[in-house]
Structure 1
Amino acid sequence: FAARPSGVEGMKTLAEQFPVPAVQEGVAALASLWNLAQSEGVQEPELVFAPGLARGLDYYTGAIFEVQVVDGPVGSICGGGRYDDLTGIFGMPDVSGVGISFGADRIYDVLEHFGAFPTGLDVGLDILLLHMGEETLPQVLATAAACRREGLRTEVYPDAAKLKRQFKYADDRNVPYVIVIGSDEAAAGNVTLRDMESGAQESVSLEGLIGRLKA
C-alpha cells in the first residue's frame, strides 16, 4: 500500500477528494493551524495530521486534537477541539472557543513511568509576549519557542486585545519583562523589550534579547 500523505500534502489530498465547501473551509483552517504550529518549532513527527481522528462528543465544529506521549504507558493524555456557539445552550449565544481537557490520572501515570516529577515548581513568568494580531503571530510564536528553549518561562497573550489590557495582565502576574513584536519589529527582525518595573524599553535582536534576559 502507498503511504498516506501527511501534513499539508495530506490536507491537499483530502481537499481534492472531497471538493465541497465544508471540507475546503476545514482544510484551510487546519493548514493555518499547521503553519502556526511550525512557526513555534512544532514539526513532524511530533505534529501529526490524522483525518481519521474522532472525539466522543459531537459539539465540535472545527479542528479536533489529541496529545499522546511517545512510548508512554497510556494513550492520549489530553484532547479537545473547536466549537462555535456551544455556550448558546447556557444563554450566552455567539461565543466561540477552543477547549481542551487533561487526564490528570494519565498524566500522573506518565510522570511516574518516566520519573519526571519536578523537584521544584515556580509558577512565575519571566516573559510575556504581547499579541499584536495575526500578521505578526508567527514571529511571536517563534520568539516564544526560542525563549523557552533557553529555559525562560514564557507566555503569549492569547488574543489581540487592547494593549492596555495586555499590559495590565502582565502587571497582575508580576511579569518582569514584556516583548512587543509589531509590524515594524517583524520587518526589521527585532523585538521591543520593556522592563515592567522601570518602564524603560529598547529594541533588540533575538540574540540580544536572550543574552539580555539571561544576564
Structure 2
Amino acid sequence: MTKASIPQGTRDFTPEVVRKRQFIFNTIRNVFELYGFQPLETPAMENIDTLMGKYGEEGDKLIFKILNNGLDNKEKEEKSRAAFEKVLQGKNTADLTERALKYDLTIPFARFVAMNHNKLTFPFKRYQIQPVWRADKPQRGRYREFTQCDADVVGSRSLLNEVELVNIYHTVFTNLGLTAYELRINSRKILTALAERCGGADQMMNITIAIDKLDKIGIEKVNAELQQRGLNDAQISIIGQYLNIGGSNEEKLSAIETLLGEISTGKEGIEELRLVTEAAANSNLIVDFTLARGLNYYTGIIFEAKAPATVKMGSIGGGGRYDDLTGLFGVPNIPGVGISFGVDRIFDVLEELQLFPDAVQTGTQVLFFNLGDAESKAAYKVMQQLRAAGVRSEIFHENTKFDKQFKYAENKNIPYVVIIGSQELADGNCVVKDLRARKQDTVKMTDITGYTFA
C-alpha cells in the first residue's frame, strides 16, 4: 500500500484556501487590466538552454531539470550513465536532460518576445499568472512550487513604465489592505558604478551576490564573503560606506551622489532614481542601496516589495529593468521592465493580519432544502431560476432531517437557505432564511429572482 503524500515544498489547496487565493489573483488581475496589460501564458517547461545561465550562479542551482524520455533503454544506458556523471560535476548534457521546469516568468516571456517580435505591437504590455518551480529549501513563505503574477513592458526605454509599475504595486497592495507595505528601489547602474569604484565592472557579480545576502547573513559575513571573492580591505571599506548610507530618499540620493556621482554610470542611475521617486511620491517608495537582486539580467532600476513590518516575511514582490534580455535569444535591442507579485507569501501575510474579507469564503449563496420528491422537484425548478439570474445555488442531495441540512449550510458558510415544504408547495411560496441575520421571509416562487441575496 502506498502512503498518501505530496512532494516536499508543494501543497494541496482546500476550497477555502483556493477562494482566498482567487481573491488575490483577481485583485492583481483587475489592476493589471486597469493599466492596459494583456494576458499571456507559456509552457510549464522550457528547453534547458533557455533557462541556464540567466539567473546567476545561485539561481542556476535551483532549476528543476527534467530527465529525457527513454533513459531506461538498454541501448542508451551506458550513454546515460556517462551523462549523469557530468551532471554530478555540475555540467549539463542533452544526453540526460534537455528540458527544465520554468524558474520564473520573465525569461520565458523574453523567449516568447524573441520568437514573436515581428508579430507584436510595441510597446507590448503583458501580464502572466502561472506556477513556477525552484529546487529551494522549503520554509515558511518559500516553496518549491509557487505562483507568480508578473507584469512587463517591452519595447520602451521610458521611465514612465517604472512609474506605472510603482503605481501598480501601490494600487494592488492598497486594495488588498496592505497599506503599510514598503517598496524598495535601487539601480543596477549604481551598483555598476560601485563595482567600478572598487576595481572594475568585472567585480559587479561578486559584489551584488554578497550584498544580496545582507539581510540573511549580516554585514560581517558579507565582508567575509567579499574578501573570499578577492576584494581588498580598501574596496570592502568603500562598500561599507555605500551600505551605511541612510536618511530620507533625498538625503540618500545626495549621499550617493557624493560617493559615486562622478562616475557616469552612477550619475545616470541616480538621475533615474530621482525621477521615479519624485513622480511616484504618493507610494510607499524607499530608496535602498542595499537592494541588489542577484539576477544577471537586470540593467537599470530594480524593485523589491516588503510586507508590513509587523509580519516576519521576506520579499512579497520584486522586479526591475532588463534592457537586452531578448538579446540572449538572438533578438537584441528590445528593452523591457517588469515586476512580480509573490502570491504565496502575500497569502500568508493577509492570513496573519486577518485581511481577507468575509465574503471571500462565500461560494454557494443559497441552499435549497430537500423535503421530499414533490417538494424537491419544485425546489429544483426555483433553483434553476436563481442560477439563471446568477445566484450560486445548490440543493441538498437527499431528504433528511432539518438539522443535518442546516449543519451542511453552516459548514459550507452558505448564508441563505430556501425551504419549500408541503404547505409552501400548496401555497406557491418558499421560505427564505438569512442564517447570518437570523431572519426569514416568505416569498412567492414566481418572485424569487427579485429577492436580494446579499
TM-score interval (norm. to shorter) = 0.3 to 0.5
Structure with bigger RCO (C-alpha 8 Å, 6+ apart): 2
Structure with higher helix content: 2
Larger-Rg structure: 2
